[in-house]
Structure 1
């Protein structure tokens, strides 16, 4: 039996891949490839699809779309002070999840098991032995590990936006936010990769720069092309799973998360998620989120990490690594002010949000 671990990283298309694997669960299973559920909602959704019913909305139940994120977060919560994210509800113990997974493998007779979660990227930082604990549930199996990594400046901006979308109160990247990641998986990518190599030294490691993934069409296409298992044809595409805030909107949402009640901050973020592009903000690829001095620090801090990754890959890991030190033409504050001027306060969901945008615009708070 072959077990393929997709370990992320975050913000590289993992949600789209998980949606794809969930939508195609039945056809994959019939071809000996199991994307296993780990709890009752997942089992019910898979049964519905096997019987020809459409199944639940993947956007509404993360347990069904991302079963192995539920497993990974539960495993980490059981050995550390980390909490399971609130969107993963009513989870059984990780041992019960793994027994359920084993039962599926035994009854279906799968030749390949795919465990897919960006949360696996955290194992090395939380407790590297979790990797071995997970692998030990598959005695005698052959392992493959697929890991995608994004150039750190692009990654940090995307991760910053993700945290803002869910209402976190965090500093701006240029005001301490970026440095807070230097010693963890969100910047030191060696802490993502190395523990998996150490715990599973015989595994085949597939390391993919995000630029190469985009060049072949995205996370699903690259994953299918890189793993050693042939996927069946006539699979259902999942499409893009995650919407993103425009860079020009991030500071507005960040201020809102600090200044507004959570429900109103969420409403502001949702408005900018859904309507931000229509407001024609400054293009993301031109907005500078760090500044020249901070970029110089990013370059210095990331150099040994890039050397490590490049040695593993046998070539420079990021072929555009020089761009890490290059400032983009439009300062973030300028892009934010431009977007504030484009927002019609009356179009916002509630006068309070309109007043808040006017406050940011008129007091030159940004």
Structure 2
């Protein structure tokens, strides 16, 4: 049995690819391919999160279950995808407040545990897409201000937290050490555009004809406009972690109501961008050499300086417009009910911790999903 383990990176079309694979799981099985994900999920991020946050060995149970499923279906290949796998080092630092060195050790340890959890019958191949580091940094920064760790700093502050993740060669060397160099491959995100799914099918699935497969025409995981993102960044310090997903959905609706929003998403100045790329050039050269990669898009400093327009910040007038729409959206009955339930659950965890098992069960089951769906007509 062959296992294709897609480890990210995030912000390289990962969500769209995962949703495509999940939506076409039945048709993939007709070609002998089993897509592995927990029920009602389109990736196995929840398994990776559980492994990192609780220390419980969820990986082996997950792979054994899907190995049995694949064998029953007569499949010869299993695909599993979790972009969190690439970013374990960074998440370990955020969750456990660990130093870079401790997190690096933790990442190597966790990748090793992952490898040991994969049944011997599986021939594992690790796949990772990478993006030019400055563009990846800006996209991840946007994502984390919008819905991730409720970040409140600017992009340079964020760079200080994520700089070691931009060293693709060092990060992926861990995977080569654990899985073997012949079992790891890397592809350049920009070279795969404009059809990342087509690139994945051509170079990973190869002989599979996807002409009859379901294709989503919606962009997955769209970013907020710059003005709404700045509004969200300023609010983040006052948002409890357990309400971050709710706030993200509210702001996504607000974003659709704003008139003439700014879409200036160049968070780095030309000189900051040039300095970052220069510092990472040795790592990028080693990555291209060892994985036989095409070059990343070139950066022209003079052209960037000529076209650079810095973001002036959120104006008072635009801030008032966003605030008006935010208040209107979050007062909708569906969102008010959801916020009430979330806060009641958080209070219960603090005051009555012995009931946490019941809340975890409700969250893992379809109960929570059904409640949210029931509230949709009121939004």
Question: Structure 1 length as normaliser, TM-score?
Answer: 0.72
Residue ranges of structure 1 left out of the alignment (5+ in a row): 43-60, 80-90, 354-366
SS at match of 1:35: strand
1:29 CA displacement: 1.7
1:280 aligns with 2:260: yes
SS at match of 1:288: coil
Distance 2:303 2:50 in 1: 38
1:300 aligns with 2:278: yes
SS at match of 1:244: coil
Decide whether aligned partners of structure 1 residues 10 and 339 sit closer, same or farther in structure 2, where only a CA change above 3 A counts: farther
Residue ranges of structure 2 left out of the alignment (5+ in a row): 90-103, 332-379
Structure that is richer in helix per residue: 2
SS at match of 1:176: helix
What residue is the counterpart of 1:249 in the other structure? 228
How many pairs were matched up? Answer: 311
Distance 2:26 2:328 in 1: 44
What residue is the counterpart of 2:82 in the other structure? 117
1:123 CA displacement: 5.0
1:258 CA displacement: 2.0
SS at match of 2:87: helix
Matches within 5 A, 1:320-335: 320-322=298-300, 326=304, 329-332=308-311, 334=312
Are the counterparts in 1 of residues 51 and 57 from structure 2 also a CA contact under 8 Å?
no
Deviating more after overlay: 344-353 vs 193-202:
344-353
Decide whether aligned partners of structure 1 residues 255 and 265 sit closer, same or farther in structure 2, where only a CA change above 3 A counts: farther
Matches within 5 A, 1:1-366: 1-38=1-38, 42=39, 61=40, 64-66=41-43, 68-79=44-55, 93-122=58-87, 125=104, 126-136=106-116, 137-139=118-120, 141-166=122-147, 168-183=149-164, 185=165, 187-201=166-180, 203-215=182-194, 217-218=195-196, 220-233=197-210, 234-239=212-217, 240-259=219-238, 269-276=248-255, 279-284=259-264, 287-292=265-270, 294-314=272-292, 317-322=295-300, 326=304, 329-332=308-311, 334=312, 336-337=314-315, 340=318, 343=321, 345-350=323-328
1:340 CA displacement: 1.8
Distance 1:311 1:227 in 2: 21
User: Relative contact order (C-alpha < 8 Å, sep 6+): which is higher?
Assistant: 1
1:339 CA displacement: 8.0
Decide whether aligned partners of structure 1 residues 322 and 143 sit closer, same or farther in structure 2, where only a CA change above 3 A counts: farther
The CA deviation string for residues 320-351 of structure 1, in whole angstroms up to 9 with x for no partner, is 2456994562212x153398279365433349
Distance 2:302 2:246 in 1: 33
Are the counterparts in 2 of residues 142 and 203 from structure 1 also a CA contact under 8 Å?
no
The CA deviation string for residues 147-202 of structure 1, in whole angstroms up to 9 with x for no partner, is 1112222212211121122263424334522222112x2x2222432112222225
